[in-house]
Amino acid sequence: MSTAHGEQVRVLEEHGELGATHSLNWWGMIFFISSEALIFANLIAAYLYLEIRAGRWTLPSGDHLDVIYPAFNTVILLGSSVPAILARSGIAKGDKRRLVLGLLGTIIMGSVFLGGQAYEYTNLISQNFTLNYKTFGSAFFTLTGFHGLHVTVGLIFLIVILIRALRGDFTAKKHFAVEAGEMYWHFVDLVWILVFSTVYLLPLIRG
């Protein structure tokens, strides 16, 4: 941010035009995430479109997807948002120890989720359910894989923040990267609820 730019923000703050609650960066992140969320919306729409067209999707064995194991994985992913919140609220008070511990917790839980997804994939592939298995395979692996990609990006994001935190880059006043990482992580969590419902829960309801 140039100095002239900084002065503009100051003038706006003096006139009370910039709400005191959120920074410009926060708003930028919100709009970026909302656009990203719509990619998921489109993929979910494509998933449902193909599923309705096919009538009834089953695995090569004739069963539905197993829901117990992914549900367990879901709990871990949703739970990983808690240490992320602790990390951000920690650094907001200047508590660097809580920041590091919180980030570590989120990273570990996120990695467990990702490992779980990999395990599920190998399991399915060993049953001959692959990317090429009808439209079901295509849609399933694309949608969940795209989410997995987002988890991976989120993890990289958090690891970079962790390294910066260990180097002491963040203070109580200046820690937007932590906030952004937390926002992105919540997004990845929330969107998983929609993906999980579409892929695993909906077939249960349809029977």
Partner 1 sequence: MATPVIGNATTTVVRQKRLSESYVGEWLMTTDHKLIGIMYIVTGFFFFLVGGMEALLIRTQLAAPDAHVLSPQTYNAIFTMHGTTMIFLFVIPVLTGFGNYIVPLMIGARDMAFPRLNAFGYWVLLFGGIFIQSSFLFGAPPDGGWFLYAPLNLTNAGCTVHATACTNGMNADFWALGVLMLGVSSIAGSVNFVVTILKLRAPGMSINRMPLFTWMVLVTSFLLLFALPSLTAAAGLLLLDRHAGTHFYQYAFGGDPLLWQHLFWSFGHPEVYILILPVFGMISEILPVFSHKPIFGYTFIAWSGVAIGFLSFTVWAHHMFAVGLPPIAQAFFATSTTLIAIPTAVKIFNWIATIFGGKISFKVPMLFALGFVAMFLIGGLNGAALAVVPFDYQVTDTYFVVAHLHYVLFGGTVFGVFAGTYYWFPKMTGKFLGERLGQVQFWLMLIGVNLTFFPMHILGLLGMPRRYYTYAGNLGWNELNLLASIGALTIGLAIMVFLYNVIVSLKNGQVAPDDPWDAFTLEWDTSSPPKKYNFLHIPVVRSRRPFYDKKYPEIADWKTVIH
Residues near partner 1, by CB under 8 A = 1-2, 4-5, 7-9, 11-12, 15, 17-18, 24, 27-28, 31-32, 34-36, 38-39, 41-43, 46, 49-50, 53-54, 131-132, 134-135, 137-139, 141-142, 146
* 78: DSSP letter: H
**Residue 51 beta carbon to partner 1: minimum distance, rounded to whole angstroms:** 11
Length of the chain: 207
For partner 1, the closer of residues 4 and 205 by Cβ is: 4
**Residue 30 beta carbon to partner 1: minimum distance, rounded to whole angstroms:** 9
CA distance 102 to 97: 8
Contacts with 38 (C-beta within 8 Å, 6 or more apart), sequence order: none
For partner 1, the closer of residues 36 and 95 by Cβ is: 36
For partner 1, the closer of residues 8 and 123 by Cβ is: 8
CA distance 194 to 191: 5
Contacts with 106 (C-beta within 8 Å, 6 or more apart), sequence order: 80, 81, 83, 84, 87, 158, 185
For partner 1, the closer of residues 17 and 63 by Cβ is: 17
**Residue 24 beta carbon to partner 1: minimum distance, rounded to whole angstroms:** 5
